[in-house]
């Protein structure tokens, strides 16, 4: 990952969402992107040139555009039509983004087009985030790494986020995954935790 004077950036065509440019690089703001916040914590998996990424919950393609700057191919799955319009615009300009209008809770809907991936990145505002993760882990290579951005408020607004994080970690471990790193995304994103996972 590239940093200029401590500022996280990505190489690529700018002007996607009005991001600042720094010496020709696109500034990747941890307050806007959870993955950037995780990188700031120092425990994010490196985005490498040859990687293939499955990105669940691509939304407006903001973070997707930065990921695409680093890796080989991004399969970006989004379910809602409105953000999909923006994601499509990003995909038209970035030739390594494959936009998929699909439902991450039903991976069989896109199983006929997604290849096996090095990185599974999940950022979905759904209650059953572990279930979605387990289903989509089918696409993850043996040596692959996964990042689960846990939105505790989407799981249950009434419960303590720390408790939900603990439960999620336990569920992942019971599901045959090795939880490498758990980190809260405060102060960049409230009530979010990033969980970095590999296969056992």
Partner 1 sequence: MQHYWFGDVSDDGQCVQAPSDIAALASRFRSLHPDMAGLVVLSVDTAIACGWVPDRPEYIRRLRKVCIAIAEEEIATYYAQSDRELLQMVRMLDEMDSVVNLLSERATEWYIVRNPGFSRKYRAITAKKMVARMKGDSSTPLSRVAADIERISATRSALMRDVSSLADRVAPNCSALVGGLVAARLIAKAGGLRELASLPASTVQVIGAENALFTHLRSATPPPKHGIIFQHRRVHNAPKDLRGRVARVLAGKLAIAARIDYFRNEADPEFLESAQARIDGAGADT
Which of 109/180 has CB closer to partner 1? 109
CB of 101 to partner 1, least distance (A): 4
Collapsing DSSP to helix, strand or coil, 124 comes out as coil
Select from 102, 49, 41, 105 the least CA-distant residue to 75.
Answer: 102
Shortest spacing between CB 113 and partner 1, in angstroms: 5
Closest CA to 114 of 148, 150, 62, 76: 76
List of residues 6+ apart from 88 with CB closer than 8 A: 99
- Pick out residues in 20-79 that bind partner 1 (CB under 8 A): 73
Both tokens of 91, joined, read: 């995909």
Separation CA 185–CA 38 (nearest Å):
7
Q: Which is nearer to partner 1, 20 or 106 (CB)?
A: 106
| Minimum gap (Å) between residue 163 Cβ and partner 1 | 16
The one-character DSSP state at 59 is: T
Whichever of 1 and 83 has its CB closer to partner 1, that residue is 83
The edge-to-edge listing of strands for the beta sheet with 21-22 is 2-4, 7-10, 25-27, 21-22
Q: Any idea what DSSP says for residue 138?
A: G
Which is nearer to partner 1, 12 or 43 (by Cβ)?
12
Q: Which is nearer to partner 1, 43 or 135 (CB)?
A: 135
- If the CB atoms of residues 108 and 178 are measured against partner 1, the closer one turns out to be 108
**Least Cβ distance, residue 155 to partner 1 (angstroms):** 15
**Among 196, 199, 164, 200, CA closest to 180:** 196
Could you say which of 25, 139, 177, 188 contacts partner 1 (CB under 8 A)? 139
Question: β-pairing, 97-101 with 140-151?
Answer: unpaired
Residue span 86-125 as binding mask against partner 1, x where in contact by CB under 8 A, dash where not: -xx--xx--xxxxxxx-----xxx-xxxxxx---------
Residues of this chain that bind partner 1 (CB under 8 A): 73, 81, 84-85, 87-88, 91-92, 95-101, 107-109, 111-116, 135, 138-139, 157-158
């Amino acid at each position: 990952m590239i940093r200029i004077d401590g500022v996280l950036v990505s190489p690529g065509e700018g002007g996607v969402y009005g991001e600042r440019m720094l010496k020709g690089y696109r500034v990747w703001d941890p307050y806007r992107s959870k993955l950037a916040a995780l990188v700031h914590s120092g425990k994010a998996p490196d985005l490498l040139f040859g990687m293939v990424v499955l990105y669940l919950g691509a939304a407006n393609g903001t973070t997707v555009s930065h990921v695409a700057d680093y890796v080989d191919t991004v399969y970006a799955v989004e379910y809602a039509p409105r953000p999909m319009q923006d994601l499509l615009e990003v995909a038209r300009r970035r030739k390594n983004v494959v936009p998929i209008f699909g439902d991450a809770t039903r991976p069989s809907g896109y199983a006929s087009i997604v290849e096996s991936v090095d990185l599974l990145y999940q950022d979905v505002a759904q209650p059953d985030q572990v279930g979605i993760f387990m289903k989509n882990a089918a696409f993850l290579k043996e040596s692959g790494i996964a990042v689960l951005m846990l939105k505790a408020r989407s799981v249950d607004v009434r419960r303590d986020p720390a408790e939900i994080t603990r439960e999620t970690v336990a569920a992942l471990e019971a599901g045959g995954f090795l939880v490498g790193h758990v980190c809260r995304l405060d102060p960049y994103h409230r009530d979010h935790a990033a969980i970095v996972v590999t296969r056992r």
